[in-house]
Amino acid sequence: MTMGSPRILVWDWAVRLVHWLMVILVPLLWWTAEEDHMDWHKSLGLTMFGLVLFRLIWGLVGTWTARFAPMVRQIGSLRSYIGKLRRREYRASFGHSPLAVFGVFALLLALATQIATGLFSVDVDGLESGPLAVLVSFDTGRQLAEIHELNFNLLAVLIGLHVAAIAVYHFVLKANLVGPMVTGHRPRSDFDGQALPENKMRLFPIMTAIILSAACVIAISEFG
């Protein structure tokens, strides 16, 4: 590839911003819980709630590579994709690869579970609780708090697998997955011979996703 090689947008700025904010927030949420900084933990948890909610909405109305429907259609080619990886016949996917689709859905599900249980959790003394804990009994709040702790272990495992997969792609398949998630672009030559869908960001969908997510975060924070 030369310096003048044309590049094409794969990941829009919203997907990239949400991704890297999540990368920052997960360890901060763990640290604030471990150090008993619960006011910070709650604020960061609401921030994560807004990010996950935005990503779910963006998965319905966003750019082509952000949407869930094309990702689901990728699952059918998983067996063929794994076979090519074993033969070291890696070729860049425009968006998530069939294997990455499972990782994305698993991480989003784990994050959503972590947030949902945190919103209703109650600590053992009943002194600290999520903003929606008043809607459930103390016993239910305690059960959700236990799930909240156990689910974080699952989330940590999924994150570890995600990082390991990136390392395998980098060192074994010589594929840089981090760079495109920073810049949003890949060389057009990576997709030679492929008919690429339109991947343009539009103002109305992005504003709708932002406003709905922010409104839900504000409503829950006021409720608590």
In the structure, how many helices (H) and strands (E) does the chain have?
Answer: 8, 2
pLDDT of 84: 87
Q: What's the CA gap between 24 and 223, in Å, rounded?
A: 26
What's the length of the chain? 224
Domain boundaries, the chain: 9-190+200-223
**CATH hierarchy code of domain 9-190+200-223:** 1.20.950
**What pLDDT tens digit does each residue of the chain (224 aa) get?**
445 568 999 999 999 999 999 999 999 999 999 999 999 999 999 999 999 999 999 999 999 999 999 999 999 999 999 998 888 888 889 999 999 999 999 999 999 999 999 999 999 887 889 999 999 999 999 999 999 999 999 999 999 999 999 999 999 999 999 999 999 999 999 998 888 999 999 999 999 999 999 999 999 998 76
Q: What's the CA gap between 195 and 166, in Å, rounded?
A: 26
Q: What's the CA gap between 201 and 190, in Å, rounded?
A: 22
Q: State the pairing for strand pair 185-187/7-9.
A: antiparallel
pLDDT of 87: 87
Q: What is the CA radius of gyration of the chain?
A: 20
Name 150's Cβ contacts closer than 8 Å, sequence gap at least 6: none
Q: What's the CA gap between 121 and 142, in Å, rounded?
A: 6
Both tokens assigned to 44: 């960061």
